[in-house]
Amino acid sequence: MRNMSFFLTTPQFIARQKLVTRRLGWWFLEVNDLVMGVEKGQGLGKGGKIKRLGPIRIVAAGPERLNQITPADVALEGFPNMTPADFVRMFCDHNKVKKCRPETVVNRIAFEYLDPDEVPR
């Protein structure tokens, strides 16, 4: 099972308030794929360990321009008090290295939380 970092939204993930994530990658995902949500997957430092947050199942994934995000989807991202413009600005600020712009096509990924005992071994 692949690890997906939720470093910027760890509290929302833990509270199960986040049901959608936007990524500049992860184009290989398919409906029903299982993924392990983790706090941080890279840059852990020497001896650092991955902190697992919990398993999720992908329910939808596909391309969408970042600036097409709706207020409802901003809330599903875990930011109910943020405007779409604020979300786009935050997303681009955190993805400067990848030259993200408001019109960038991102992968909109919807998921559901699983209990650990629901994950096949």
Region 71-78: what's the mean pLDDT? 98
Q: What is the pLDDT of residue 120?
A: 74
By percentage, how much of the chain surpasses pLDDT 90? 80
What are the residues facing 36 on neighbouring strands? 3, 55
For the chain, how many structural domains are there in total?
Answer: 1
Element (H, E) at 86: helix 84-94
Mind listing the pLDDT tens digit for each residue in 14-41? 999 999 999 999 999 999 999 999 997 6
Q: Which region, left, alpha or beta, applies to residue 54 given φ > 0 means left and ψ of -120 to 50 means alpha?
A: left
Q: What is the pLDDT of residue 41?
A: 61
Question: Contact 69/91 with Cβ under 8 angstroms?
Answer: no
Query: Residue 109: which pLDDT band, with cuts at 50, 70 and 90?
Result: very high
105 CB neighbour count, 10 Å cutoff? 11
119 CB neighbour count, 10 Å cutoff? 14
pLDDT of 57 > 90? The answer is yes
Q: What is the pLDDT of residue 49?
A: 83
CA of 105: how far to CAs of 22, 25, 65, 83, in Å?
Answer: 10, 10, 4, 19
pTM listed for this prediction: 0.90
Q: What is the pLDDT of residue 46?
A: 67
CA of 9: how far to CAs of 4, 32, 121, in Å?
Answer: 12, 22, 27
CATH number for position 74 = 3.10.400.10
Tell me which of 97 and 58 has the higher pLDDT.
Answer: 58
At residue 70, the 3 state secondary structure works out as coil
Provide the domain limits for residue 69: 2-118
